[in-house]
Amino acid sequence: MRAAYSKVLLAAVCLIALSACAAFGGRSRSSNTSATLISGPLGSPATLSIPHLEATLQREFSKRPTLTAMIGAPACGVRVYKFAYATVGGRGEATDASGALMVPTGNTAQCRGPRPIVLYTHGTAINRNEDLSAVTDPANPAYGTAIRIALIFAAHGYIAVAPNYAGYDLSTLRYHPYLNRTQQSRDALDSLTAARQLLGRLHGTVRDDGKLFVTGYSQGGFVSMATLRALDHQGHPATAGAPMSGPYALLAMADEIYLGHPDFGGTAYLPLVVNSYAHLKHDSIDPAQVLSHRFQAAVRLFPGETGYRDFRKLVAAGKIPASAVFQSVSPAASGPGFSAAQYPALAALPEGGPLFQAGFNPSAYLVSTAFRAAYVADVDAHPDGAAPSNGSAPDLSRTVPALPADPQLRLRQDIKANDLRNYTPSMPLLMCGGHGDPEVFWNQGAGAMTAVLRSKIATDPHLRFATLDLDTSSGSAGTYFQHGLGAVRSDALLPVARRLQQAFTAYQHAVDTARGSQVAMEAYHTDAAPYCMVAARAFFAQYAH
């Protein structure tokens, strides 16, 4: 759910794993916060000319010519404004955040006059200095995401709004409400309200045409789906949505991890979850119960001053394990690790993919073994249909991956409350990702959500959705399923989907061949992002006019 880990650290992780290494009718009533815009623009706006954007496109995707062609030459320049806005924290407390407003510039009809808005929600960041307005600063941890938003959306005529989220950049909130669907959707919509207010202040040649498209990747996939849900609940749905590679079946994702399949990057993501859910209105969990004694302070690490590139420094300082989420079972009665006699249910579970042994360690591990045992016991008693308690893959072609009715462990109750499987979108929806993703598992993301929506087709005549799996490496033609989009839109989208599948799979194969499976595994999640963003833009284009 992140941008990129240190290549040196991740190569070591994979070596440890012994190469086992995956039409919105009017304007949205987008916020209940009054006077949402606090200040803006902040500083001088960044101006990106068409030649500058063209050079950036060629540089950023120099090894992916097919993707470069599909992104296309910039049609517009882009001006980027930074702004601050009022929002709330995880308990509903008043706070602030900052964001970026990207406005197309130019004299053609595509770059001026009334234009649609794309609200883009970003993926997991561990560096507090994340700033999506920093499109001219390659040292900023948000630079890669910011440039992709500018190149793929704003340079092609969309007004783009991108919140940094509460807890980042200028925000005074001292934690981040990570994967809190109520707060994160409120945050995103407050940024949208503020950006619209700022756009009105600018009195430029570009204005909001009332059409709203919502998308985001990884954590942002979850946030964008939650935001679409919030807009539907307000009675003002977006024009269309394209959540990408998000953990929509959030409880199943957590269960899958605890059942022996730690995800890549889990030692960064789990502290964010623990700290976020410790700041719910009812202070539901005590981080000291969840984290092992050795890494109690990890709950306060993120977001912090260290980014993914320097994650190894935290590991070297003994502040976080490199990749071991759980304790491994002791191979002998007197050896390090947990006792199989004391925790037989844990001993029976796999040290599974995508990290295999690298996700476990006998003495330096993130999560308390006693807490994991309590979590697994609750899974056994109250299983989730998208994460079978025996650790096997769910059969999403035959069963609807339902949420458990009554989990008893407080953390599972809180995660269930943030799960998005109970949402049925009223607008056209595209989900995109790759089934080999080692960070956000397909079966607990787009796979589960697609199975739920397919189960509703017979009873909901208004459903319109599509699911794109970019990865065809298994030898199949690849998954592209759509329902209710109509023949014209389906015919327009199918060739785009097939071309993206071919391009992504070929690129990942090239990385694997040239640099090995360990680098291909570590890069997979990040590499898929721009392909999904191109798919999202193609999907939005069907509803933009």
Q: What is the pLDDT of residue 390?
A: 85
Q: What is the pLDDT of residue 2?
A: 52
Q: Which pair of tokens denotes residue 351? A: 């040290």
Nearest to 220 by CA among 256, 181, 194, 192: 181
Q: What is the pLDDT of residue 477?
A: 59
How far is C-alpha 236 from the chain's CA centre?
24
Q: Which pair of tokens denotes residue 26? A: 């009017």
Q: Decide: 204 and 175 in contact? Cβ < 8 Å.
A: no
The domains located in the chain, with CATH, are 34-250+428-541 (3.40.50.1820), 258-416 (no CATH)
Q: What is the pLDDT of residue 22?
A: 32
Q: What is the 3-state secondary structure (H, E, C) of 26-75?
A: CCCCCCCCCCCEEECCCCCCEEECHHHHHHHHHHHCCCCHHHHHHHCCCC
* Tens-place pLDDT, residues 439-470: 999 999 999 999 999 999 999 999 999 999 99
Q: What is the pLDDT of residue 391?
A: 80
Amino acid occupying residue 492: A
Q: Which residues of the chain have pLDDT under 70?
A: 1-35, 475-478
Task: Give the pTM.
Answer: 0.94
CA distance 253 to 247: 7
